[in-house]
Each structure stands twice: as structure tokens, then as C-alpha cells.
Amino acid sequence: MSVAERIQSWARELVAPKRPEPSYPRLPEVRDKGQSNVDGMYLMGEVAGTPLIKLGLNDGVRTVEHLAPGLPPVEQSGEVLDFLIVGAGASGLGAAMRAHELGRRCVVLESDRVAQTVVNMYKGKILFAEPEGLPNRSSMWFEECTREVLLERWRAQIAEVGLDVREFEKVVDVKRAGDHFEVTSDKGRYKARHVLLAVGKAGNPRKAGVPGELEHAGRIHHTMSDPSEIEGQRVFVYGGGDVACEAALALVGRNEVTMVTIDESFIYPKKRNADAVLAAAAAGQVDLHFGARLKAIEEGAVRFESGGQERRVGNDLVFEMIGAELPLGFFKKIGIKLEATWDAQRWAMLALVSLFVYSLYALKKYPKVVHSWPFNHLIERDDYRSVINAMFGVCFLPFRWLFDDGAYRTMLGDLGFQQGYLYSFAYTVLMIGFGWLAFVRWRGIARNPSYQRWRYASLIFFQVAFFIIVNAVAVQAFTLQHAWRAWGLYQPWPLFFNTFFWWYEGVPKYVIYTFVGSGLVGTLVAIPLASRWHGKRFCTWICGCGGLAETLGDRWRHLSAKGPRSRAWEFQGVAVLVAAFLVTMVVVGAFDTQGNNGWWVAYDYIVDFWLVAVIPIALYPFFGGKVWCRYWCPLAALNGLLAGWYGKLKIRSNDKCITCTLCSRHCQVGVDVMAFAKNQEPFDNANSACIQCGICIDVCPMDVLYFDTSDEVRVDVKKAGDLESAAAVTMVIGR
């Protein structure tokens, strides 16, 4: 591809419509402890983004234990159930068993069979007890076993304990009725104080929606239980994910296999599955068609379009494996919202939050023209000053004893110092408070919590330390006039943009040498050295801007902008870096460091006011905390360019990825981590905006990802006994 073609492709990506991607499934809105947006209705398991059997069982246990203390005594329950559980998968059974142990009244309604996801797996599939080392908190039995053993043990346990699990009963409506819910199924009605949704996706296979699906439903399958039972058949596999690939591979050699996918190349399956199918196609064992669509299912044949031409092939069996989807119609009916749904309420919330954040920063800049509009026209200066003086008097108490009355009176006369102090005080308090919450959160989630403990401790330490240095040490060492420059000691240019500005005659040389020298060392020495071995960890271990995003913004990290279009807009950081360099050169060279000119005023207003403060912080609850760091921070751009050029730090993966999407979901800078992990491709700052926060490593239930600075790939030996293993795939192709 030529340079011009690359630019055209990139430009098209900037405005391309958002499309579904394997790493970013749409899930319902889940709040603390699994609470949905409907009070009293909780989400568990796959529908709440929790993969794996063991994690699902534990999720069910946690939900019931969280809710049980708030329930009335059992003898007062009457006809109202404590829990109505929708779905008899791992999380539903885990919740039901725990409710039974606590003596709470509970009914489980399952639209199909118990553990339908496991039932749909192929015969003899090994179920690994992952994550290793994590205990199963549920009394429901689970150890490494085959599909058949698990189904047998669970059914026996349900019968032995007497869990009230009702199969083939579909819930059709849930309505609030005072202090309980009224649940309607296709077989009856129930009342329950809490409804726990553990519906998963197994019962909702996606359909192609083509002529003949209803008429020939008998030969259309969405799962394959036992491939050994299928022999001498003309098989049509429609889909391009792991399930479709594994089905095609399991059937080659004994059957005539045609595989069709709408994708132009394999994007959904793991690399080993994609490679195996491509090898089978090259060997003539699979008739593979990319960029093709199923058109109709006919008597003894199927029609599909490939390469602009319609084709018709004889057919005995159709495996329609184009994924599964959540019961969106059911969710809408009962009031469950999907994540990041832009309805009127969300737009109104964005407007209110934006107004609040703008007002905060405009008042911080008061009475500065433009920045403080309209408050500079609405508030009298004397009234504003008296309020600020009163607030400062309270918030400065921790340092008051360090200064004599004369120095303190000087502070009370300097409105700019008071504004800066109050802002940094509030900023520091927020980072401490929300930093502790994030510290506790990730200490409980992370597989190896020491990294996150040290990371959050580092962020809070640097913020607190420099808050004290700027407002106490620097005031005494460099006077009130220059103390603010101490922020530049740990936020190098071009993040702290004024390091080289506003130097007047009469300023002591030691002050100039201290701050300009430290600015040069930070930008030209510290950041380049850190880029070599630590990538962009400065953003997530030290920087105050990144620190607020990692603490206050942590609760919304999963809402960060995802997909190719959002990544295409990351060029803006480099554009701001270039602008920062030009403005610095002009102000220092042409204006003798004085910023009273259009160049500095424009940069100050656009970047330091809007792009650093107002816009990104207002967007925290809507697009995660890293909007500034990812799109506009010139220091992050510089750091990323250097790390991408000669950095050693990478995140690598082993071969155990189960494509659960948790890594990509929790990335605050929109890296498609799962795409790298499932293909065992390393990623760093040469091919991503990664800030090495390590959250993707910690949320992975399979311990797939790890940091690495070497050029050698660590080899992990995977357990055998599954078609997903490379050896098994090779044997299938060879049949």
C-alpha cells in the first residue's frame, strides 16, 4: 500500500461508522455487586461479563451473600420468594445453592436445560478448573472434568439437595409491584424480592435471517455435540469465529465441508484455529470462502454469494455458527439498560456534568478574561475574594504553623496563590479518596496484586509529596512568586508548559537554573530513559493528570472509546506536541519568555483550559478517565514516540486465551488487547497506546498476559485433551 493509500485509508477510518467487534460485546449496565439499573434486579455470570464456570459459581455466591442480610426473616416471607433466578448455568446454580444453604426461598427458571452452555459443547470436551489457585466458593461441585461428568454431577447434586430448578420454563416479563417483583413465565407467575438474571447467551443463537431457515430448520444446527456421529455428509459451516472453525476442523476428512464467512479474513478466531482452517483449505479439505454471505437454504442445497457471484452447493447439514446474542428484546421489556446507551437521560447527565466541570475551572481562573466567562460578569471581585479567603483559611490550616503572620498575610493578599492552593488541595483529596477505593478494588481482583498496590501507592505519593513541596517547601525556598513552578519538577515539559516562560529581570539566578535545569533534565533525560525500560508507565505511576484518571476515573474505565475509529483519532497527541514545541520556540525566542502574546494565549486557552481540564474530566463518566492522556497530552505523545522507537517493555501472551473480552473491556486507552492475546502477538508503544497500567494482566482469568523486556518468548505448556490444543487440531486435519 502506497503512502497516499495509507493516508486515504486512515482518513476514512476517522469517520467510519462504528461496527461490532469481537473484543467489545455490548453488555447490560452493571453497577456495584452486580446491581442493574433496575433496583433489586441483579446480573450474574456471562451477562455481567464474568467468564468461566468457577468464576460464575463464585459470582452467584457473592450476589446472594450480598443480598441475604437485607432480607426479612424466612417465617415472614409468605408467598414471596427471596430470589427468583433466571438461568440455570454456573452463576444461577451457584446462587441457588447458596440461597438454599442460607435457608432462603428460591426458584430457578431455565428456558432450556440445566447448564445449556455445557450441553452445547462437543462430546468429551475437557473443562479446566480455571483460574488455577482460585478456590471454588460454591458448594456446587466443580473440578477438572469432561462435559459429561459435569452434567451428571450437577444433575445428581440438584436432585440430592432438592434445588427448585424448573427446566423449559421461559420468563417472559418482570414488573415491579411495591416491595417485590411479579415474574411471569410461559407456565406461571411468581413473586420475588430480588430477581437474579443469569441468562447467558447460549439460548440465543444468532440467525442469518435468510429464506428457508424455517422450512428447513431440521437440518440447521447452532452447536455440535458429537462430530464422530457425522460422516459422509455435505456440510455447510456458516461463520468465522472459533466455534465455526472448530466445527469445520472436526468434520474434515470424513465429510465434504464448505465454510463461508462474511469477514474478509479471520478476525474472530484464535490464531491456531485460523491457521488450522487455512491449512485445511490449502490441502483441499475445506472449501473456504471469505467475504461471502448465505443467501438461502433450499431442499438439498444452499445458496451463497461469494466474489460478486451467487453459488449453489449440495447440502445435507447446515451449521449456522455466527455467534449468540443477549435477549435484547427481553431486556428492553423489563427495563434493563445496555452500557453506554445514549438516551435522553444520558445526554442530560453529560450536559449537567459538563456545566459543573466548566464552572469549577472557570471559577478557578476568575477573574481571567475568556476563561472565567460568564462569572467575571456575574460575580463581584470583592465577594469572590472574601469567599476564597475563607476557604483558604480553613484548607491551609495544615501548613499555617510553618509561616509567620507576615507571610500568611502575603498569602491572603495573593488571590492566584489561594486559587492554586485550593485547586491542588481538592485535587489531592480526590486522588487520596478515590485512590484508596481503586487500591482496594484492584487488590481484591488482581491475580498478583503487588503491581497494582505499588502503582496506586506511587500515584498518591507523588501527588501528596508535590502538593506539600509546592505549598510549603517551595514557598519558603523560592518565595510565593515562584513556588508554583515546583509542579514542573515532576511534570516535565511539554506537560508543564510554563517551565521556560515568565522569566523577568531581577529573578535570582538560582531560581532560573533550578527550574529550567530540572525541566531540561526531565524532558531530555528522565523521560527518554524511562521510555527505554518502562514504556509509558510515567502516565500511570507518576503523572498527576494520569493519577486523577486512574483514581477518580477508575470506576468508568470500561467505558473508554473502543475500536479502529477511536484509535485513528490518537494522532491528536502528536499534533498537540508539535504545537507545544512551536509555541515554546516562538515565546522563548521571539517574545523573550513573555507569554503576553497570541501564541501563548491560544495554547493556554485551548489546551491548558479545555483539553487538559474541562473536556476530559467532564467525560470521565462517559468515556473513561484517559481522554486527555490518550488523545491530547503532548508528554504522553512524546513518551509514546520514544518508547515505540526503542522501548523494550512489551506485553506478551501465552496460548491460553479464551476470548472472554475482559482485557479489552478494561483498557482505558482502547487497546484491543484480546486481538493481540488470542493471536499471541506482543504489543507495546510501537503498535498501541498502551500505558502499561497492567489492568489487562490482572483481569485475565487465565493468566495469559505478562510484562516482558526480553526478546525471547516465554513458552507455556497447555493442558491437552481438547480440540483447541494444537496437537488435536493437527490430528483432525490429518484424518
CATH number at residue 45: 3.50.50.60
- Residue 53 placed within a domain: yes
Residue 587, CB half-sphere, CA atoms under 13 Å: how many?
A: 25
Is the domain of 369 the same as that of 489? yes
Is the domain of 552 the same as that of 617? yes
- Residue 51 placed within a domain: yes
Is the domain of 255 the same as that of 386? no
Going by pLDDT thresholds of 50, 70 and 90, the confidence category of residue 11 is confident
% of the chain residues with pLDDT over 70: 96
Q: How far is CA 276 from CA 22, 160, 223, 241, 271, in A?
A: 20, 44, 20, 13, 8
What is the mean pLDDT of the segment spanning 307-313?
A: 92
HEC readout, 434-484: HHHHHHHHHHHHCCCCHHHHHHHHHHHHHHHHHHHHHHHHHHHHHHHHHHH
Q: Which class for 334: exposed (0-12), middle (13-18), buried (19 or more C-beta within 10 A)?
A: buried
Say how many domains are in the chain: 3
pLDDT tens digits for range 625-684: 999 999 999 999 999 999 999 999 999 999 889 889 999 999 999 999 999 999 999 999
- Residue 451 placed within a domain: yes
* Domain-ending residue, one of 589, 618, 645: 645
Bridging pattern class, strands 234-238 and 256-260: parallel
- C-beta separation of 657 from 248 below 8 A: no
State the DSSP code for 566: H
- Residue 494 placed within a domain: yes
Bridging pattern class, strands 705-708 and 650-653: antiparallel
pLDDT of 256 = 95
Q: How far is 244 from 253, CA to CA, in rounded Å?
A: 16
Is the domain of 245 the same as that of 130? no
Three-class SS state of 114? coil
- Residue 690 placed within a domain: no
Cell 435484547 found at? 328
**Is residue 699 predicted with pLDDT exceeding 60?**
yes
Bridging pattern class, strands 180-185 and 171-177: antiparallel
Q: How far is CA 498 from CA 373, 482, 485, 721, in A?
A: 23, 12, 8, 62
pLDDT tens digits for range 193-227: 999 999 976 667 888 999 999 999 889 999 888 88
- Residue 83 placed within a domain: yes
* Domain-ending residue, one of 162, 197, 232: 197
* Domain-ending residue, one of 167, 197, 227: 197
Is the domain of 236 the same as that of 100? no
Q: How far is 495 from 576, CA to CA, in rounded Å?
A: 10
**Is residue 427 predicted with pLDDT exceeding 60?**
yes
Cell 473480552 found at? 661
- Residue 253 placed within a domain: yes
Is the domain of 283 the same as that of 373? no
**Is residue 93 predicted with pLDDT exceeding 50?**
yes
* Residue 370: all three cell numbers together: 475568556
Is the domain of 42 the same as that of 85? yes
Is the domain of 373 the same as that of 461? yes
Is the domain of 115 the same as that of 37? yes
pTM: 0.88
pLDDT tens digits for range 717-730: 444 334 333 333 32
- Residue 411 placed within a domain: yes
Kind plus residue range of the DSSP H or E element containing 286? strand 286-289
Whole domain around residue 620: which residue ranges?
351-645
CA angle 559, 666, 346 (to 5 degrees): 15
Is the domain of 191 the same as that of 274? no
Helix axes 271-282, 242-251, angle to 10 degrees: 40
pLDDT of 132 = 84
Going by pLDDT thresholds of 50, 70 and 90, the confidence category of residue 732 is very low
Cα 177 to the center of its chain, rounded Å: 35
Is the domain of 193 the same as that of 221? no
State the DSSP code for 619: T
Is the domain of 559 the same as that of 447? yes
Buried b (16+ CB within 10 A) or exposed e, 597-607: eebbeebbeeb
